[in-house]
Chains A and B, each alone.
Chain A
């Protein structure tokens, strides 16, 4: 297992540098004046442009620029936002909020999604199964921002169950409903995945053997069916973290949450290019590390993975 973790960490290094280089390249090596492009259509005085060029080391060769930027990320220097505050401070303030939101979303989609999927899979073809499949399909096809608007409108404005925007503290209880909105699409995918996997494993030889041994139904379901059905769900969670991050940008934008996603959302709305780039780069790094974690979890669940390669 330790050798596996070591190998995976080593594999991560070229991907890390490659992905950050790619983002950096896309932003600063575009044809035309990249710094002007960061401002969109707004008129900018030449002195400001010069100052920003110096700040981003754009007078140096490309690879030196990139290495200086990476060095900045490693020592926690992400540059400044337009309001003059260090991006690192913004991140330190925003990150815990988004972490809370992500925990709510992951717990909600994991627990509720697996429970509904398991129940539907065990009763394949019954009414509950059909209703669950239909509703999950609805959640998959309706974009997250529409779900967010509807929840905000009905639960917030019409019925007054929640506040329509989240305060600066962003407490757990305030983030509960936005977290559920963030989880909606993934929840539906997990229901479908668990349901299909459970339905398939119900007919597997090891389940028949477990039943023939005289094990109680509860034990067969928990230990034999559920554990084997969770493997594709864990794989999905890894790939899904990316869509959760995009979802966080949108959900935090809708509910005015001052987290990482909300900051990106507002920076995009105001055209604050450097903030967008720094934050997205950090999100990509988190995504890579989280994917590594999921891969390790996968190896714990299914020992075959560890020894395959």
Chain B
């Protein structure tokens, strides 16, 4: 360092000063991502594991009901002669007014509720994502047309629309048709959220960089914009799964959901109303199963939302 003239400003020699923050970055480590950070936050909470365990159990029951009960819930397995029996005598939770085994109807009812919820969620999410992404990314007249179309479907509350359609539908009422009807009125909510997320993602620097590199519009949308817009959609999809399951139960309660020959929690709750005074257990078990399932999905949605939001993470 020269000492023979006055130092006006001190400039630290670059090679001698370690830049702690830069040196601390490990280049060989895994890059951190939104989902990686979120999962790191989620796995430290016991509530996550409680929800995942419950959802795993529900999935296994829905897929393999015969593992949990040897009796069938409907048809020949029901003997009207032993209607409304107390628990015991081969029936763990007793029998209902039709003489069907309450426990096996509970187990087989899982499949109906979960199928409707899952199929409706997948359909609504797929349609909502595609339409929302196209509307948000391409803008212009396409956005205007698609958004107004969404407004029209949005103006009809899902279950009200389903009441009308199920009332007049000429096809057989089963889990698939019910799920389609629910998805028809459920997609605009997801499309709106996807459109908003895409709108904010398409102005990001990495999109500008891709445009500068000459990547095609469609490829930018699929490779960069959509993956970065999915987070809020995943949250709302998890919550809607619970909402669709409740919708199925409400429609079955009204007598517009699944036919009585299908074991379904909503129909069982509805049937249990008649015997509420004498046999409250008939209404209690399907309600409990329904509430636990909805609770698991809604809580998981809350957890994912919190984990994806750094502000919420800091608040805890």
Residues of A within 8 A of B (CB): 11, 14-16, 18-19, 22-23, 26-27, 30-32, 34, 37-38, 137-138, 140-146, 149, 153, 157, 199-200, 203, 242-243, 245-246, 249-250, 253, 264-265, 268-269, 271, 273, 276-277, 280, 283-284, 287-288, 291
Query: Which residues of chain B come closer than 8 Å to A31, judged between CB atoms?
Result: 170
Given A142-B291, A143-B246, A268-B255 in contact, is the A284-B283 Cβ separation under 8 Å?
Answer: no
In whole Å, how far is B66's beta carbon from the nearest beta carbon of chain A?
27
Contact, CB under 8 Å: B157 / A18: no
- Chain B stretch 160-219: residues in CB contact (< 8 A) with chain A: 160-161, 163-165, 167-170
Q: Give Cα distance in the complex from A246 to B164, angstroms.
A: 12
Task: Assess whether B102 is interfacial by the CB under 8 Å rule.
Answer: no
Q: How far is the CA of A199 from the CA of B306 in the complex (A)?
A: 14
Q: Check B168 against A23 for contact (C-beta < 8 Å).
A: no
Q: B299 contacts which chain A residues (CB < 8 A)?
A: 137
On chain A, the residues within 8 Å of B273 by CB distance are: 149
Q: Is B40 among interface residues, defined by CB-CB distance under 8 A?
A: no
Apart from A30-B169, A141-B294, A242-B158: 8 A-B pairs, beta carbons within 8 A? A23-B161, A143-B249, A143-B290, A149-B276, A250-B254, A265-B254, A280-B160, A284-B155
Q: B109 at the A/B interface (Cβ < 8 Å)?
A: no
Are the CB atoms of B164 and A141 closer together than 8 Å? no
Which of B's residues lie within 8 Å of A, judged by CB? Answer: 148-149, 151-153, 155-161, 163-165, 167-170, 242, 246, 249-250, 253-256, 266, 269-270, 273, 276-277, 280, 283, 287, 290-292, 294-295, 298-299, 311, 315
List of A residues within 8 angstroms of B149 by Cβ: 18
> When chains A and B are docked, how far (Å) is the Cα of A243 from the Cα of B158?
8
The minimal Cβ–Cβ distance linking B303 to chain A, given in whole angstroms, is: 12
Q: Name 14 interchain pairs, CB-CB below 8 A, sorted by A.
A: A15-B151, A15-B152, A18-B148, A23-B164, A26-B164, A30-B168, A30-B170, A37-B169, A141-B290, A199-B315, A200-B311, A203-B315, A249-B160, A273-B168
Q: In the bound complex, do residue B168 and residue A34 qualify as a contact, i.e. CB atoms below 8 Å apart?
A: yes
**B292: A residues at CB distance < 8 A:** 141
Instruction: State A249–B195 Cα separation when bound (angstroms).
Output: 32
Chain A residue nearest in CB terms to B290: A143
**CA A141 – CA B163 in complex, angstroms?**
21
CB-based nearest B residue for A276? B167
Q: Lowest 7 A-B CB distances belong to which pairs?
A: A242-B157, A18-B152, A32-B170, A141-B295, A246-B159, A19-B155, A141-B294
Say yes or no: A287-B253 contact (C-beta < 8 A), given A26-B164, A264-B163, A276-B164: no
Chain A residues with CB under 8 Å of B269's CB are 143, 145-146, 149
Can you name the residue of chain B whose Cβ is closest to the Cβ of A144?
Answer: B250
Contacting residue for B148 out of A14, A26, A249, CB 8 A: A14
Q: How far is the CA of A199 from the CA of B316 in the complex (A)?
A: 10
Given A145-B253, A149-B276, residue A26 in contact with residue B157 (CB < 8 A): no
Which chain B residue shows the least CB distance to A203? B315
Most buried by B among A37, A141, A157: A141
For A277, the chain B residues whose CB sits under 8 A away are 164, 167-168
Instruction: From B148, B156, B157, B256, give the contact of A268 (CB < 8 A).
Output: B256
- C-alpha gap A44/B134 in the complex (Å): 47
A200 touches B153 (CB 8 A): no
Q: Would B254 and A27 count as touching, CB distance under 8 A?
A: no
The smallest beta-carbon distance between A261 and chain B, in angstroms, is 10
Chain B's interface: helix, strand, loop or mixed, by majority? helix
Q: Report the Cα distance A2→B246, complex, angstroms.
A: 40
User: If the complex has contacts A268-B255, A280-B160, are A22 and B153 also in contact, measured as CB distance less than 8 A?
Assistant: yes
Interchain CA distance A16-B283 in the complex, whole Å: 40
Residue of A nearest to B294 (CB): A141
Q: How far is the CA of A65 from the CA of B90 in the complex (A)?
A: 59
CB-based contact A243/B157 at 8 Å: yes
* CB contact between B167 and one of A146, A250, A273 (< 8 Å): that residue: A273
Cβ-defined contact, A283 with B160, below 8 A = yes
A160–B48 alpha-carbon span in the complex (Å):
42
Bound-state Cα–Cα, A280 to B299, Å: 32
A130 CB to nearest chain B CB (Å)? 13
> What is the CA–CA distance of A19 and B294 in the complex, to the nearest angstrom?
30
Give A144 to B161 CA distance when docked, in angstroms: 18
Give CA–CA (A287, B255) in the complex, Å.
24
Known contacts A140-B298, A200-B315, A249-B163; decide if A22 and B152 are in contact (CB<8 Å): yes
- For the complex formed, measure the closest distance between the CB of A141 and the CB atoms of chain B, giving whole angstroms: 4
Q: Which residues of A contact B250 (CB under 8 A)?
A: 143-145, 246, 250
A287–B283 touching, CB < 8 Å: no
Q: Is the CB of B155 within 8 A of A15?
A: yes
Docked-complex contact B291 and A245, CB < 8 angstroms:
no
Cα A34 to Cα B291 with chains together (Å): 36
Q: Which residues of B contact A246 (CB under 8 A)?
A: 157-160, 250
Given contacts A141-B291, A146-B287, A269-B255, contact A37 B163 (CB under 8 A): no
